[in-house]
Amino acid sequence: MFVKQWKTVAIGLVAVMLSGTGALSAQSQATGNCVFTINHIPLKMVFVKGGEMQLGCVDNRDDSCRAREIPAHTVTLTDFYIGETEVTQELWMAVMGQDNNPSYQKGNLLPVERVSWDDCHRFVNRLNRIFLRTA
């Protein structure tokens, strides 16, 4: 598998994705999905095929368009992998340390919560360092 680095993707909860080129090993499945292991904790990643889409609002469509949404433009995404689920508390602690679980509702398989954007970037940076050591 070839990945450049992990990136932060946040939609309500913490999620991760990978893209780019560079060497990294992972257990691939027949679907193109893969599983990484971090301190014995699996991180299941789902392959997403890149493509093009229109982003923004067509200015003549109706009056609901905001100025920042005009003009509509083409956005191209490359292939990437994204976490099958949100980052679990178990995975967060495997990367950030066993004493680092900021979540209010505790449970290894529950999503980590109560983390800031900066916390997410620290998580991703540590994830990158872990994989740079093992690549």
Give me the DSSP letters along the chain. Answer: -B--EEEEEEESEEEEEEES-SB---EE-TTS-EEEEETTEEEEEEEE--EEEEES--TTS-TT--GGG-S-EEEEE--EEEESSPPBHHHHHHHH-TT----SS--TTSBP-S--HHHHHHHHHHHHHHHHHH-
- 22 within a domain of the structure (yes/no): yes
pTM for this model (two decimals): 0.69
The total of structural domains in the chain comes to 1
Range of the domain at 24: 5-50+77-112
pLDDT tens-place string over residues 70-88 = 888 898 988 888 888 889 9
- 82 within a domain of the structure (yes/no): yes
- 16 within a domain of the structure (yes/no): yes
pLDDT tens-place string over residues 36-79 = 888 889 888 888 888 998 888 876 666 778 777 888 889 898 88
- 105 within a domain of the structure (yes/no): yes
- 30 within a domain of the structure (yes/no): yes
- 55 within a domain of the structure (yes/no): no
- 85 within a domain of the structure (yes/no): yes
